[in-house]
Amino acid sequence: MGTYINIGSAGFQSARNSEYVDKSGLIAVVNATLNTERRFTCVTRSRRFGKSMAARMLNAYYDQSCDARNLFADLEIAKDPSFEEHLNKYPVIFLDMTAFVTRFHDEKIVDQIENELIADIKDAYPDVSINDSSDLMDCLINIVSATQQPIIFIIDEWDAICREFKPGTAAMDRYVNWLRRMFKDVNASRVFAGVYMTGILPIKKYKTESALNNFTEYSMVKPARMAGYFGFTKDETKILAQKHN
């Protein structure tokens, strides 16, 4: 278990230990995109819509370092034909961008992200040869080539850096280039079985269209298939209200 890679299912376990409203149908929607041209997904919602909860759920479901079957056995996703196919079958990188913007406040923040992820990944794959000069994408290319296991990359609050640094600053320019390197690289479709990101405001808000134009974005205005998986529906609210009198 690492800090960023294969972090286990504890985050979702905490949710299941509390009063959890079943949103696991989201997993089937994401499963349908894996290893396809639609593998890049971005969900944008305002605060308190359950974005981080959904990200932790996806991590628990895909993470190959744990056995999360019991966490999902009584949920909607367990009845879906894709449930067994992808359950705990992937190396998963989970990145919470807010954890970095609270620690680093200068233009080197992206370098800090790179360095910490590379160190964690090297620890997770000690037998894979990685050059000292390799950037994160180079490391992931080497690992997938050696293991033949594509990666699930989950980024919670991808726009935290965009909210902290103004467009045109060195940090923002470096971040946009990093996104482009990670997800528009010719090897991205080979390295990633799927990429799932959450954010508060739409991608275009921060002029990152060219870096992320291969992502399917599910926004507040155009939620499409994601509509019922964030926030509470009328029926869910009614059930909760009745339960608590």
Closest CA to 55 of 70, 43, 37: 43
What's the confidence (pLDDT) of residue 139? 96
Q: Which residues, in sequence order, are bridge partners of residue 155?
A: 95, 197
**Residue 56: is its pLDDT beyond 90?**
yes
The pLDDT of residue 231 is 86
- Asked if 90 and 30 touch (Cβ cutoff 8 Å), the reply is no
Contact between 104 and 116 (Cβ < 8 Å)? no
| Band of pLDDT at residue 168, cut at 50, 70 and 90 | confident
Amino acid (one-letter) located at 142: N
For residue 223, pLDDT over 90 is answered with: no
H or E segment and range at residue 116: helix 109-124
Q: What CA–CA distance (Å, rounded) separates 61 from 67?
A: 9
Q: Distance (Å, rounded) from C-alpha 217 to C-alpha 202?
A: 8
pLDDT digits (tens, 9 = 90+) for 16-31: 998 889 999 999 999 9
